[in-house]
Amino acid sequence: MMIFEELLNHFEIRETFPNYLLNQTFNDVFLEGDITKKDNIYEITVTTRQDLTHMMFIKPREEFPVVIMSILPNGLLNGMKFGQNKGDEIPINKL
């Protein structure tokens, strides 16, 4: 596990995020991912040996600045949206 701030440092993302989010833990598999940036939105994508694709969308100025989405081998989606405030998290399956 790693905290979000470590991921930001690893990919040299210099944006401002809520303190709770900087200390949020995530799977360190994202450190091995490929990063792209378009219109101030960062996307980190990694596919594991178990044929799972994990994506992290980092949107610094959005209502939900971090969105995690995983595509399972059966095609279903799993994930979480992290809001500007602690407690604003929404599981993808609740949308």
Tens-digit pLDDT profile for residues 2-58? 999 999 999 999 999 999 999 999 999 999 999 999 999 999 999 988 889 999 999
Q: What is the pTM of this model?
A: 0.92
CA–CA distances in Å: residue 10 to residues 38, 67, 76, 82, 90: 18, 18, 29, 20, 26
User: In which band, very low, low, confident or very high, does the pLDDT at 94 lie, cut at 50, 70 and 90?
Assistant: low
- Is the pLDDT at 81 greater than 80? The verdict is yes
Write out the DSSP string of 68-84: EEEE-TTS-EEEEEE-S
Mean pLDDT of 63-71: 95
Strand stretches in the chain, DSSP E:
2-3, 25-26, 34-38, 41-47, 53-58, 66-71, 77-82, 90-91
Strand partners, 41: 38
CA–CA distances in Å: residue 64 to residues 17, 32, 90: 11, 23, 9
